[in-house]
Amino acid sequence: MTQASTEMHAYYAQRAPYYDAVYLKPERQEDIAYLSQHLPDRFRGREVLELACGTGYWTQHIATSAKRLVATDWIIEPLDFARLRPGTVSVVFRQADAYALPLDLGVFDGAFAGLWFSHVPVEARVAFLQGLHRLLKPGARVVFMDNNEVQLRDFPLVETDAAGNTYQMRQLNDGSMHRVLKNFPTEAELVALLAEFGEQIEFSALDNFWMVEYVAKAL
């Protein structure tokens, strides 16, 4: 595990019981209402792999329309909360590292990761995408959604490393401070990166989030 991964692990394990507060922020409600409709529409009738599903906030929405949904996270504490989500009885929850996705998860024609891509170190992006695409059929629909710079009002950047990764300090309810790798890729950066993996790349800027969608190429 890298240092950033170890830090993430401790942070998300401890934060799991009250993680969902991020979905109660008043300024996010319009975006959340839109995404709660849009994501199920995008994945209707598809076999979907969700990465870093956390406490399953988006899982519960995608489950309403997907033909099959496998929701994964590497950290057991948020995953345990996700398993309790109403409406997810048909979802298969699996502990899986997004950087080492096992082939026995199956093959999918949809993939989603919410608030995850920002945590992928710049130098690990291509390997992460290669690992994901091993499990995707050509024509699979892929959606990544994440925080835009509005989130910096709550958590300003405190550090940038040699690879260009940026970091925030975040305090948990017990007062402990955690350094979290959090990147804010631009549309141009995402499009350049994803062109190798997909076509019909569409970037959307919401008030609080960005979203990028594409159709997987045959690799």
Q: How many Å apart are CA 125 and CA 16, to the nearest integer?
A: 25
Residue number with CB closer to ligand SAM (103 or 188): 103
Cβ at position 105, least distance to ligand SAM in Å: 12
Q: How many Å apart are CA 13 and CA 210, to the nearest integer?
A: 25
Pinpoint the alpha helices (H) of the chain.
3-15, 29-42, 57-62, 76-82, 125-133, 187-194
Cβ at position 140, least distance to ligand SAM in Å: 18
Residue number with CB closer to ligand SAM (22 or 191): 22
Tokens read off for 22: 């991020």
Residue number with CB closer to ligand SAM (98 or 142): 98
Let me know if 203 is exposed, middle or buried by CB neighbors in 10 A (0-12, 13-18, 19+).
middle
Tokens read off for 68: 């099959």
> Is residue 123 within 8 Å of 187, Cβ to Cβ?
no
Chain position whose Cβ is nearest to ligand SAM: 54
Q: How many Å apart are CA 47 and CA 173, to the nearest integer?
A: 37
Residue number with CB closer to ligand SAM (28 or 141): 28
132 in helix, strand or coil? helix
Tokens read off for 77: 């504490």
Cβ at position 9, least distance to ligand SAM in Å: 6
Cβ at position 14, least distance to ligand SAM in Å: 11
Cβ at position 218, least distance to ligand SAM in Å: 26
Under the rule (CB under 6 A), what is the footprint of ligand SAM? Answer: 5, 8, 12, 52-54, 57-58, 73-75, 78, 97-99, 114-116
Residue number with CB closer to ligand SAM (3 or 200): 3
